[in-house]
């Protein structure tokens, strides 16, 4: 039982390049989330999904797109990376409901030059 895994762990991009971050969970959770963590800012929600085939915007969605084609996977895409997207990205999942614990992946450290 791996929990929540993220691929890749590190990535360096040039401005304007695109990439996709992959999040996978093996706990059969309905809800999945993408956050970004910046120094002194805490975690901010980018997008989330309440089930396969559904996505919704969070607090800071601009410049990102997401897809949830399979229940266990949640992809975060950057179409044209900008230096402001340099951050640590965390994926999380939860079974269902506000009272449930969110389980986090180990993070992806992205640098955009």
Which residues of the chain form contacts with other proteins (CB under 8 A)?
A: 4, 31, 33, 40-45, 48, 50, 56, 58, 90, 92, 94, 96-102, 104-107
On the question of a cis peptide bond just before residue 82, with omega within 30 degrees of 0, the verdict is no
Residue among 18 and 50 whose Cβ is closer to other proteins: 50
Two tokens at 92? 């999380």
Q: How far is the CB of 85 from other proteins (least distance, A)?
A: 19
Q: What is the DSSP string of 93-106?
A: EESSSTTSPPEE--
Q: Which two tokens stand for residue 5?
A: 């895994």
Q: What is the DSSP letter of 84?
A: G
Q: Which is nearer to other proteins, 58 or 63 (CB)?
A: 58
- Nearest approach in angstroms of CB 5 to other proteins is 10
């Amino acid at each position: 039982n791996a929990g929540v895994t993220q691929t890749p762990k590190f990535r360096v991009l040039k401005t304007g390049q695109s990439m996709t971050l992959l999040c996978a969970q093996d706990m059969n959770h309905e809800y999945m989330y993408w956050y970004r963590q910046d120094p002194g800012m805490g975690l901010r929600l980018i997008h989330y999904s309440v089930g396969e085939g559904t996505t919704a915007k969070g607090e800071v969605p601009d410049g990102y797109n997401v897809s949830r084609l399979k229940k266990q996977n949640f992809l975060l895409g950057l179409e044209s990376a900008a230096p402001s997207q340099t951050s640590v990205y965390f994926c999380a999942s939860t079974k269902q409901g506000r009272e449930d614990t969110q389980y986090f992946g180990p993070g992806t450290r992205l640098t955009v030059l």
